[in-house]
Amino acid sequence: MSALTRRGFLEKLGAGSVAASLPLLLPSVHAATAPYNGPKLNVALCGLGNYARMLAEGLQASQYCRLAGVVTGHADKAAAWQQQYQLPPQNIYNYNNFDGIAHNPNIDVVYIVLPNFLHKPFTIRAAQAGKHVITEKPMATTAADCEAMIAACNKAGVQLAVGYRMHFEPTQQEIMRLGQQKAFGPVRYLEAGLGYKTYNLADANDMVDINDDTQWRLHKTKAGGGPLMDLGVYCVQAARYVLGEEPVAVTAQFGPVHHAQRFTQVEESITWQMQFPGGAAANCTSSYGFNIDKLYASADDGYFELSPALSHGPFTGKTSAGILNIPPINQQASQLDAMAQYIINKQPMPAHINGSEGLRDIRIIEAIYKAAQTGGVVKLV
Ligand code: NAD
C-alpha cells in the first residue's frame, strides 16, 4: 500500500491526527510509487523446504530481485525447481559444491532458508564466496554464532540481513507507529502470543523420531530451542518494535507440558515477562502445544490489538479509535524489495534488519531460557 493510500485509510479510521508520518524504525522505500525498471538482484535460495516456497513466490512478485539459483541437497528438488523457475543449470548448487558460487557472477545474494543451526555455516560460506546474505529468523542458535556471522560478513565486505518480514508489513508498521509515537499515550502493558499446536493429543501414535530431518524443530542442537526460538522471536520483536525500547530484565516459566515424550529436547511451551526502561511490562507466550496468535497493547489513553497478530496474517484488529484492517500485501516481496534496494543502492542494511538486530533477539532469547531454567530474574544490560 502506498504511503498516501495508507494515510487516507488511517484518516478514515479516525486516527488521522497521528497518521501523518511513517513509523520511526522504517526505511522510506515504501513511499516510492514509480515502477522500478533497473537491473534486478539475482538471489539464490539455500534450502528448499516449506518457507522457501513462499520466498520463491515473493521473488516472482518482486520488482528488485529475482530467483536466479538454488542450493539443495536433493537432486530431485533441484530438477523440479530448475524446471519450474527456468533456472540455468550453472546456478544449481548442492551443499558440497556450494562454495563454487564464488565464481558465479550471476548470483548476487544467498538467501538462507535452512534449519536454524545451518544459518551460521552457510552465512559464513556465502560471505567468503563474496555474496550478500539474507538469513532467516532466528538468526542463529546462539549469540556467539550471530557474532561470528556478523564478523564474517564484515570481513568479506558483504551485507547481512535477517528475514524480518514484519518490518515491511503495513499492519505491523502501523502498530510500531501507534506504540512508538505514543498515539494513545505511552504503552504501559503489552501481551504477545504465537503458538501452533503441532500434534494431536488424542493420537496415541503421535510419536516422532527427532533424528528425522523433517523434525529438526524438536532437536535442540538443530533448532537452538523450541517455540521460543521459532515463534517467540516474533513476540520479542513485537514488544521491542511497539515500545521502541530494549528490555532490561526478563523472567520466564516453562510449560504447560502435555506431551513430554515428544518434547524431550526442547520446550513444548514457555511464558515470559520483559521489563522495559520506560516502565512498560510485556507478558509473552509461545507454544507448540496450543494455538495462539495475538497482540494487545494498553496505553494511557487507549489500546490497540491484533489477532491474527504475528503469524503470516492477514492481520486484523482494532484500536480504541476504531477497526484496524489494512489490506494484506505479499510480505515476502515487500521484504525482498526493501532489502534489495539497500544492496542495489550500496547503502548499509539498516540496524533494524541487519545482523545486529538478529543478535539482539538471540541475546534476549538466551536470557529468557536462563530465567526459565533458574527461576530468577535475568538482567539485560
Ligand atoms: P523445512 O523443514 O520445511 O525446510 C528446511 C530445508 O532444509 C529442507 O528443504 C531440508 O531438506 C533442508 N535441510 C538441509 N539440511 C538439513 C538438515 N541437516 N536437517 C534438516 N533439514 C535440512 O523448514 P522451514 O519451515 O522452511 O524453515 C526454514 C527456516 O526458515 C528456519 O530457520 C525457519 O525459522 C525459517 N522460517 C521463517 C519463516 C518466516 O515467516 N520468516 C517462516 C517459516 C520458516
pTM for the structure as a whole: 0.92
CA-closest residue to ligand 1 atom 8: 49
Q: Which residues are catalytic?
A: 137, 234
Spatial separation of the C-alpha atoms in residues 106 and 153, rounded to whole Å: 20
Domains of the chain: 6-26+170-327+351-379 (3.30.360.10), 41-165 (3.40.50.720)
SS3 71: strand
Number of H helices, E strands in the chain: 11, 15
Residue pLDDT tens, the chain, 381 long = 333 333 333 333 333 333 333 334 444 344 456 899 999 999 999 999 999 999 999 999 999 999 999 999 999 999 999 999 999 999 999 999 999 999 999 999 999 999 999 999 999 999 999 999 999 999 999 999 999 999 999 999 999 999 999 999 999 999 999 999 999 999 999 999 999 998 765 554 566 777 778 889 999 999 999 999 999 999 999 999 999 999 999 999 999 999 888 899 999 999 999 999 999 999 999 999 999 999 999 999 999 999 999 999 999 999 999 999 999 999 999 999 999 999 999 999 999 999 999 999 999 999 999 999 999 999 998
Measured CA to CA in angstroms, residue 249 lies from 40, 224, 276 at distances of 43, 21, 7
CA-closest residue to ligand 1 atom 6: 49
Q: Are the beta carbons of 240 and 234 closer than 8 angstroms?
A: no
**Ligand 1, atom nearest to 53 Cα:** 26
Q: Are the beta carbons of 310 and 287 closer than 8 angstroms?
A: no
Pocket mutation for ligand 1, best pick of 74, 98, 114 (most atoms within 8 Å of C-beta): 114
Buried b (16+ CB within 10 A) or exposed e, 38-64: eebbbbbbbbbeebbeebbebbeebbb
137 ligand 1 Cβ < 6 A: yes
* Ligand 1 centroid to residue 51 C-alpha, Å: 7
DSSP letter assigned to residue 142:
S
47 ligand 1 Cβ < 6 A: yes
Pocket mutation for ligand 1, best pick of 119, 135, 136, 353 (most atoms within 8 Å of C-beta): 136
SS3 288: coil
